[in-house]
Chain A
Amino acid sequence: MKAFIHHFKFEFLAGIRNKQLLLLNYLFPLGFYLMLGFIMVEINPPFRENVIPAMVIFGILSATLLGIPDPLVNARENGIFRSYKINGIPAVSILIIPALTTILHLIVVTVIITSTATWLFNAPLPSHWLNYILVFFAAAIACTGLSVLIGVVSPTSRMTILWSQLVFTPSMLLGGLMVPYSMLPEAAKKIAQLLPSTQAMNAFSGLAMGRAADFSPWSSVTVLFVSGVLAFGLAIYLFSWDTRNSSRRGHPLLGLLALLPNIIQIVLLK
């Protein structure tokens, strides 16, 4: 436990020292929050209602999908995992600690957004604070789990960018951050339900912001938690120490099982 805490402390400090992580954890989400807040609220005043949940979700997506997989793949390719292994660092620590430190950075960003949005953009604060915290953690767990899984199954750095963008871009476009879920065509709605951002936006609206949800908000919270935990489990199972990622226990497509809770939700809510 002492080793785990020391490792956590190092990873947290590394997240601040490392310029790329500093950019993805803090500068990018907070810069985007300020820019989008000023522009969108001006041209589309109802966006004010969504500033806090949308920007918190954007921060989560940026720090996790863009910030976690690439360093994991680089560490594996550069032999850092091998150094870790011979010094007795377990795979679980390698995967869980970056996720936990990212969540800690996300808490800081979320506090900044939540505490300034009303003052800067006259955005409404959450009406149910406990639910707000619950949904934040559910979304953070789902996105960190998915990001760690992408880092584990990606064969190369190039593929990592591709996989991350495959989730990040649709999350921005279909996840309810810019365009409301209710305005999407039926087919797009089903695809959107596969994305953690849609589930998080729905849960924030229905449970924390005091607005009507597009579909069951508690099912969204459940999907976020279960898919996050499932993704972590799959990442640990598929983890490889090998620099070429050639000796894992299962096929990388097994990673798609992380979408199972979303698919079950789509079927049950039909």
Chain B
Amino acid sequence: MNDIVIEVQDFTKTYDDFIAVDRISFDVKSGEIFGLLGPNGAGKTSTLECLEGLREPNGGMVKVAGLIPTREFHKLKNLIGVQLQSASLPESITPEEAIKLFSFYHNVEPRLDLLDRLGLAEKRNSQFFELSTGQQRRMALALAVMHNPRVLFLDEPTAGLDVGTRSELHSMMQEFQKAGTTIILATHDMAEAEQLSDRVAILLKGKIAKIGTPLEITAAGAGLTKISIRTQESNLLTSEVTFPAVTYSTTLDEYKIYFSKDIGPTVSAIISHIETQNDALIDLRVERPSLEDRFLEITSTGEML
């Protein structure tokens, strides 16, 4: 579990004058699920593509399983599995043909059982263009894992998937992890990253803003507790009144949401206020900040390491 599988040192990727990734460094250990998070244009896909050998870094060092991806791709290709964000296949290829074709190039036996596992058994002889977006993504996933790679790169793996397939994918990822596979997960889905990742890196404008376990990252924030309140008359939704220890507030549907540094005085004051307004409390939820809350905090403030 402790040997380093991915090494990234001062890695830079530019496109003409645009710096997509700016001298970032991180390591990923064997068997880890490592989440790469960030808003669009943060540099996630550029980082993944350089790790996968699809693009040449412009500076620094990138190694996967001890190999330099662009120079030693012939050795790397059987060690990595990649589900590209924008991957595509020839429109007339069938799932069964695709599994067989790529198996021959990976020199492994075709894993047609993956079609059953990923709910593609009935579509095994349909042409690729006849598959739905979700089915195409599942197909790409089957191709990424069919040769039991040592490192698996997943770029937005659950985008466009239904709840059942998503859950199936999550359990597959955990199975792969148990078998020792290292997984690099680039996603916009914070709940998914928080649930599955051992560590995450939050990229912002090409730099690493935060890196650590989801717990470390959420704990390192302003520590604001989220208090969501719904009342009978919804007076709070339009109220401008301020409460002790509240840093900021917002609304979501019928709920008023307060972010507080000290929940005791805040909740007491809110309840007193509701009583004085002759309103009635319907729902009150107190939650610790999630990775998503922390992510929004980091991206909105531009907070860096």
Q: Which residues of A contact B (CB under 8 A)?
A: 2-3, 6-7, 10, 13-14, 17-18, 75, 78-80, 82-83, 85-89, 241-243, 247
Contacts and interface: CB of A to CB of B under 8 A. Distances in A.
B89 interface: yes
A2 B55 CA distance: 29
Given A82-B87, A87-B106, 9 more contacts: A17-B127, A80-B89, A80-B90, A86-B77, A87-B77, A88-B74, A88-B105, A88-B106, A243-B86
Given A86-B82, A88-B78, A3 B54 contact: no
B176 to A, nearest CB: 17
B88 A80 contact: yes
B114 to A, nearest CB: 14
A2 B84 contact: no
A14 B100 contact: no
Contacts of B140: 83
Interface string B179-210: 00000000000000000000000000000000
Contacts of A17: 92, 127
Given A6-B100, A6-B104, A83 B89 contact: yes
A173 B173 CA distance: 60
Nearest to A74: B91
Given A10-B101, A241-B54, A86 B84 contact: yes
**Secondary structure of the B contact surface, majority rule:** loop
Nearest to B146: A87
B105 A14 contact: no
Contacts of B86: 79, 82, 243
B7 interface: no
B87 A83 contact: yes
B57 to A, nearest CB: 13
B296 to A, nearest CB: 31
Contact of A87 (B55, B56, B143): B143
Given A79-B87, A82-B84, A82-B87, A87 B93 contact: no
Interface of B: 52-56, 73-74, 77-78, 80, 82, 84, 86-93, 97, 100-102, 104-107, 127, 140, 143
From B74, B89, B97, B105, residue with most partner A Cβ within 10 Å: B105
B119 to A, nearest CB: 21
Given A14-B90, A14-B93, A17-B127, A82 B105 contact: no
Contacts of B105: 3, 7, 87-89
B54 A86 contact: yes
A18 B105 CA distance: 23
A199 to B, nearest CB: 32
B93 to A, nearest CB: 7
Contacts of A10: 93, 97, 101
A17 B92 CA distance: 7
A147 B114 CA distance: 37
A27 to B, nearest CB: 17
B90 A75 contact: yes
A7 B90 contact: no
Contact of A18 (B53, B54, B84, B92): B92
The 9 closest A-B pairs by CB, nearest first: A3-B104, A88-B77, A87-B102, A86-B82, A88-B105, A78-B88, A17-B92, A14-B92, A79-B88
B87 to A, nearest CB: 5
Contacts of B89: 80, 83
Contacts of B52: 86
Contacts of A6: 100-101, 104
Contacts of B74: 88
B210 to A, nearest CB: 29
A7 B103 CA distance: 11
